Amino acid sequence: MSTGVEADIALDAAVVLTLGMNRVLGGTAGLAGRGAEVLAALAAERAEARSAALAEAETYERALREVVERNARIAALAGTREKVHAENAVALPSPLVLADQAPDELADWCAATDAALDESERRLSEHLAAQVSARVFTAPAEGLRADIGQGASPPPLHAEHRAERSAAGPAEARQKLERVLARLLPDAPEDERRAVADAAALLTGVGTAEEAETAITEVRLRIQGANRRTEERRAEVRRRAQEREAAEQAEAERRYVLGSITSAFEEMGYEVDAGFETLTADDGAVVLTKGAWPDHSVKMRVDDASQVRAAMVRERPAESEDDRRVDAEREREWCDAFEAARARLAGAGIRSDVTWRLDPGVRELPVSPGARQTGARSGRREHRREREK
């Protein structure tokens, strides 16, 4: 900016916490009450009272997020259950509807739900293993042959060979295959499940215990690879969710700062305009004007809820010394208003540290690139009033 002020801004922990709770949980009735309690901590006269209020709110917020995570896991497992057609075979806990539960109640529900979800995931894996195993062993002719000899009777077997041959039987092989298949994560993608099933199908043509073990080893290796890729996919989903949450939180904080600034200056008699077509400044830029300022305005921008920049501009070029005298008066008035706004913003949990300031009258005020013709401002006000009806 050619002339004006820049300040670094930081949100109070109570504001950040409340914005996160409202954003993640949608501002339910119970949450709205908790949020009001958190913001009330800003006005606590005693540091220990404020600290205790924030600690309690942080505990509640963590408990709420834990519930949201469990509800999401329930939804994901429900989708997996539907894909593997196990609706009637595997039970799932019901998601929790958040209301006015105490943090301890939420924690108890999470602990019980974790155990239920682990059991549901195990049963889903077993159900999927049984499905694959059933396809492999659908018919005796296609299954693992109980006898490896054809035609003439085989020669007598030693004890270890008899045990080996017994292990190659279809019942034992099927049991072993199902135990291995049960290790496959139930949310493995369809192509991964198909690759595992293809390896399991190799058991249909084996005739010895060694061949059966080789086929099962291949199944085991494919499951290990499928699980690794599934875990990687889970991690990627979590990473994207975290990035999305961080972006949403940053946007919520930016809009909170912008809204607080708008309210502060409107309460001091300024008109805050974000443009002709929008009621909010999507890019963080606003224009401040006053009825007693026919030739001046202030352009302000909020950058990522971390910095605010503002500069006074003229709506038409200065033509005389009297114009420049008025410029200095307006700049002093604006500087006083900015300091008053900083005090108001501090009450809303927005701290600011001025990092650069240009004193009034040091430089000639720049002319706004979008300088309006006479009457344009009044027309804009009429347009805004029409929008707000």
- Beta bridge partner(s), residue 297: 313
Dump pLDDT digits (tens) for 204-247.
877 788 888 899 999 999 999 999 999 999 999 999 989 998 99
For every residue of 203-245, DSSP letters joined together read GGG--SHHHHHHHHHHHHHHHHHHHHHHHHHHHHHHHHHHHHH
Give the lowest-confidence range in 79-83, 91-95, 168-172, 328-332.
168-172
What is residue 195's predicted lDDT score, i.e. its pLDDT? 94
Q: Greatest CA separation found in the chain?
A: 122
pLDDT tens for residues 14-41? 888 888 887 777 755 455 555 556 666 6
Q: Which residues are 273's β-sheet partners?
A: 287
Q: By percentage, how much of the chain surpasses pLDDT 90?
A: 43
11 membership: H or E segment, kind and range: strand 5-11
Residues facing 313 on adjacent strands: 297
Highest mean pLDDT: which range of 226-235, 275-284, 360-369 = 226-235
DSSP character at residue 289: E
DSSP, collapsed to helix, strand or coil, labels residue 9 as strand
Domains of the chain: which residue ranges?
5-11+268-388, 137-147+160-251
Residues 1, 311: Cα–Cα separation, whole Å: 6
**Interstrand relation of 5-11 and 350-357 (parallel, antiparallel or unpaired):** antiparallel
* Contact assessment for residue 293 and residue 330, using Cβ atoms and an 8 Å cutoff: yes
| Angle between the N-to-C axes of helices 209-267 and 190-200, in degrees from 0 to 180, rounded to the nearest 10 | 170
Higher local confidence (pLDDT), 350 or 156: 350
Report the pLDDT value the prediction gives residue 283, as an integer from 0 to 100.
Answer: 65
Q: Is the confidence at residue 270, as pLDDT, over 50?
A: yes
Q: Which two tokens stand for residue 262?
A: 């708008």
Coil/strand/helix, residue 123 = helix
Q: Are strands 285-289 and 296-303 parallel, antiparallel or unpaired?
A: antiparallel
The CA-based angle 60-66-67, given to 5 degrees, is 90
Give the pLDDT of residue 73.
Answer: 93
Which two tokens mark 31?
């949450």
**Per-residue pLDDT at 232:** 96
pLDDT, position 124: 94
51 has a pLDDT exceeding 90: no
Which has more pLDDT, 345 or 28? 345
Q: What is the DSSP string of 58-92?
A: HHHHHHHHHHHHHHHHHHHHHHHHHHTT-TTT---
Q: Which two tokens stand for residue 327?
A: 């410029």
pLDDT of residue 209: 82
Among candidates 257, 285, 276, 216, which has minimal Cα distance to 342?
Answer: 257
Per-residue pLDDT of 95-140, as tens digits, reads 999 887 889 999 999 999 999 999 999 999 999 898 888 888 764 4
Q: HSE of 364 in the Cβ direction (CA atoms, 13 Å)?
A: 11
Centroid of chain to Cα 193: 29
Contacts of 31 (CB under 8 A, 6+ apart): 21, 22, 25, 64, 98
Sign of the alpha-carbon dihedral angle for 120, 126, 128, 131: negative
90 beta partners: none
CA atoms within 13 A on the CB side of 103: 11
The closest of 44, 53, 42, 1 to 344, measured between CA atoms, is 42
Top-ranked range on mean pLDDT: pick from 218-227, 282-291, 380-389: 218-227
How many CB atoms within 10 Å of residue 82? 10
Residue bearing the bigger pLDDT, 295 or 377:
295
pLDDT of 33 reads 54
| Residue 92: pLDDT band with limits 50, 70, 90 | very high
Is 382 or 248 the better-scoring residue by pLDDT? 248
| Rama region for 356: left / alpha / beta (φ>0; ψ in -120 to 50; rest) | beta
Specify the 3-state DSSP secondary structure of 369.
coil
What is the predicted pLDDT for the residue at 196? 93
Q: How many other C-beta atoms lie within 10 A of the C-beta of residue 345?
A: 20
Write out the two tokens for 72: 């999401």
Task: Write down the pLDDT at residue 141.
Answer: 38
Confidence of residue 371 (pLDDT cuts 50, 70, 90): low
Which is more confident, 251 or 44? Answer: 251
